[in-house]
Structure 1
Amino acid sequence: MLKSEKIKDFLNDNNVDAIFIQKDENCRYLSEFTGSDSYLFLTKENKYLITDSRYTEQAESETTNFEIINHKGQIGKVIANIVKSEHISKIGVERNFTYRFYMMFKELMGNVIFSFCSPEVLRIIKTEEEIACVREACRISDVGFEKTIPFIKAGKTEAQLRSILECAMLEEGSEGKSFDTIVASGIRSAMPHGIATEKVINEGEIITFDFGAIYKGYHSDITRTVAIGNVPEKLKKIYNIIFNCVEQVENILKPGLKASYVDEIAREILRKEGMEEYFTHALGHGVGLEVHEPPVLSPRDSSVLQKNTVVTVEPGIYISGLGGVRIEDTTVLTEDGISVLTKYSKKFLTL
């Protein structure tokens, strides 16, 4: 389906005459414009990209069938003029719609009604071009980690390993990091989001790396956990539990399943091992122009997974005072299963 048709259907489904878009990722998806400081105003008949003089030429070259408007610091007046000329009475707005914009619009537009919408849902099912971008971002992250492996040893700090990994991804073609790279060693690995510190890596510790690359705006997300020397047997057992959990979930994951059902499958696997209480987050999430986007593989998301949706699978066990293990893949749903896009081995690696 063409994006213009998606927009019309979205407006009809949400019972609005137009939608005002502020979020950069939604602007980029709906217009192809890669700059910043831009807004979209989309009606059933017309598409407007509103920016300032720094970006008008870029917007004209990157977009198709958009009217480019230089707002000259008068965004509210620009929108008000469109609303008046197209007789718009109800406008959809994103969840991040600010009070400042609300008050400005109400002052200029009087009785116009505003309704919250979630245009992110338009981005859930990826095109082949989008999937190719995510696949390349995953390749970059795989190669970046492979280049980092020789440097992972006792005596290095978490921060040093983070820098080596991020530089390796940049050298391979990443546009940046998907998020603050996680390098958590020893008992700090029990922190699901243990951002790298100056802590020195020691023999007998486990290290969790959670990182991602960006290619043409699209993200990857991967977690691998490695051991430095001989680690406690309990951590080895936990690793095997998580490894088997990932394998089993990826074997059943396919279109037609509810996101919440897939999450429950993982929890049941860990429940049988007596480890469910140590799994403290959702099983996974969508990946695309944002590293975290719908759908969410969690008990609270009952949406049905569809072909060409990109999701992560990332179970983890975190035990305070001992450490934690997480393994994460980025995957794309195919006709009757998935394709795993992050290729670096998930087998237990001792360095």
Structure 2
Amino acid sequence: MLTKTESEQRIARLQERLKQSEVDGALFIYPIDIYYFSGTRQNSALFIPAEGKPRLVVRKSYFRAQGESVIDDTRPFPSSKEFPSLFPPQVKRIGFTFDVAPVQQYQYYAKLLPGVEFVDISSLNRELRSVKSGLELERMRESGARLCDVFREIPGFLKEGMRELDLAAEFEYRLRKAGGEGYVRMRAYNQELFQGLAVSSGAGNPGFFDGAVTGRGLSNASPHGASTDAIQANAPVLVDYTGVFNGYIVDMTRMFVVGTLAPELEHAFATSLKIQQHLAENLKPGAVCEELFAKAAELAESAGLGRNFMGAPGENAKFVGHGVGLELDEFPVLAQGFKSPLQQGQTVAIEPKFVLPGLGVIGIENTFAVAPDGGVKLTDLSDNIVCL
């Protein structure tokens, strides 16, 4: 539950950035942004002026928002005629999150507020949210611990001959029983997934998902994740899932095999661990994201696996780590072109993976917090391959 003090600190940081950008206020309509500042995910709009008190107007459920919101001025959503009165006359430039606002919604609010200039604060908002408070880090540690507990159960139900889908169902059943919320929120347009994936023979299928591994999925309408393919002996089994508890996401991957792995796969896994170790040791404030990615790619290339790094050859993802928090695809991104330096308190899922056509998919993923001495592991479970 968001405290009033925490909310006020978040709002104060945003207000400082708005003033620096000469923006008179920010209007949030995206639910998870509203939750971040107010503590409620109800259908609402939140106005935060560059100076002064914020105001939350609620469409539904106002009754529930009253009990959840830490914004003092929480009221029902006004009529279109009354809406402009929420904004002081000096408000001329309003920040808006263009990255997630549909054009229809932009046009709706622009019509309600004629004469107001809407400016994009998407990056500003994401940068602020990327740095986690002590409360947020504690919640992510809890998410990591609870997800690890479910991963520990896998050797008890993974069997040769079971379908990928059965493995996924067994895992998801236990994750849900542990209190997993299942809402894997993503900000990027046209990206979606169902909690995670448990894949083996279907793992190497390329697909729309912006990651190293997509899986075959169950149909052309749902081309991501587990398929009905049977798990074979001596084939790598990759289990990559999110844990979502109290809204906060951690992301992790572990490898399993019924039997033994081919030497090529063992070599690729050792390279994954080497890359992860280098990145984790250098996950410090000031480290430049694209330089970390370049080093990871260099290590993959020197191991003879450059073309297999982060995807099937020709279908490679262009990153090796992504921010996590209330969303799966937060800042920062360890990717070429992402020149921003890391900041203490950011949380990053590092996931060096390899796709070896004809052999399978292998890799590792853990969620870390950026800290002065290097990344602090929030998914604290052995990285070793589990052989059954």
Please give the TM-score of this superposition, normalised by the length of structure 2.
Answer: 0.84
RMSD, matched Cα: 1.9
Residue pairs, 1:208-227, within 5 angstroms: 208-227=238-257
1:247 to 277, 295, 302: 277
**Ranges in structure 2 where 5+ consecutive residues have no aligned partner:** 1-7, 185-192, 207-212, 216-224, 310-315
Q: Distance in 2 between matches of 1:128 and 1:89?
A: 35
Cα pair 2:202 2:229 within 8 Å, conserved: no
Matched-pair contact (CA < 8 Å) for 1:71–1:78: no
Q: 2:290 maps to which residue?
A: 260
2:327 maps to 1:290: yes
Q: Tell me, yes or no, if structure 1 residue 100 matches structure 2 residue 137.
A: no
Q: Specify the alignment match of 1:132 in structure 2.
A: 138
CA distance in 2, matches of 1:13, 1:120: 16
Greater share of residues in helix: 1
Residue aligning to 2:155: 149
Contact (CA 8 Å) 1:148, 1:168: kept in 2 or not? no
Percent identity, please.
Answer: 24
Q: Secondary structure at the residue paired with 1:66?
A: coil
In the alignment, the residues of structure 1 paired with residue 17 and residue 347 of structure 2 have an alpha-carbon distance, to the nearest angstrom, of 21
1:50 pairs with 2:57: yes
- 8 Å Cα contact 2:180-2:244 kept in structure 1: yes
Deviations 1:261-315 (A, max 9, x none): 1111211111111212222221111111112211111112111111111111111
Aligned to 2:92: 89
Q: Could you tell me which of 27, 32, 38 is aligned with 2:44?
A: 38
Listed as ranges, the matches of 1:118-197 within 5 Å are 118=122, 119-176=125-182, 178=184, 179-180=193-194, 181-186=196-201, 188-189=203-204, 191=206, 192-194=213-215, 195-197=225-227
1:21 aligns with 2:36: no
Task: Provide the rounded CA distance (Å) in 1 between the counterparts of 2:144 and 2:112.
Answer: 46
Compute the displacement of 1:186 (Å).
2.4
Contact 1:243/1:347 (CA < 8 Å) preserved in 2? no
1:340 aligns with 2:382: no
After TM superposition, what 4+ stretches of structure 1 lie above 6 angstroms from structure 2? none
SS at match of 2:140: helix
Correspondence for 2:209 = none
Q: CA offset at residue 108 of structure 1?
A: 3.1
1:272 corresponds to? 302
Distance in 1 between the 2:324 and 2:71 partners? 28
On the 8 A contact 2:203/2:214 being kept in 1, the answer is no
SS across alignment from 1:307: coil
What is the distance in 2 between the residues matched to 1:268 and 1:143?
34
Q: Contact between 1:190 and 1:322, CA under 8 Å: does it hold in 2?
A: no
Letter paired with 1:188:
A
Q: Secondary structure at the match of 1:202?
A: coil
Secondary structure in 1 matching 2:349: strand
Secondary structure of 1:305's counterpart equals coil
Taking a change above 3 Å as real, the CA distance of residues 86 and 58 of structure 1, as seen in their structure-2 partners, is farther
The Cα shift of 1:36 comes to 2.7
- Counterparts of 1:116 and 1:268 in 2: how far apart (Å)? 36
CA distance change for structure 1 residues 241 and 14 in 2, over 3 Å: closer, same or farther?
Answer: same
Structure-2 change in CA distance of 1:77 and 1:215 (3 Å)? farther
**In structure 1, what is the equivalent of residue 187 of structure 2?**
none
1:320 aligns with 2:326: no
TM-score by length of 1: 0.93
Segment drifting more, 99-108 vs 153-162: 99-108
Matching residue of 1:304: 341
Q: Return 5+ residue gaps in structure 1 as ranges.
A: none
Among 358, 364, 367, the residue aligned to 1:330: 367
Equivalent residue for 1:235, pick from 232, 256, 265: 265
Give the counterpart of 1:116 among 114, 120, 125.
Answer: 120
Please give the secondary structure, in 1, of the residue aligned with 2:180. Answer: coil
Provide the rounded CA distance (Å) in 1 between the counterparts of 2:275 and 2:11. 41
For 2:306 and 2:144, locate their aligned partners in 1 and report how far apart those are by CA, in whole Å. 29
Q: Distance in 2 between matches of 1:347 and 1:107?
A: 57
Query: Is contact 2:255-2:384 (8 Å) kept?
Result: no
The offset of 1:189, in angstroms, is 4.0
Determine helix, strand or coil for the equivalent of 2:345: coil
1:187 Cα deviation (Å)? 5.4
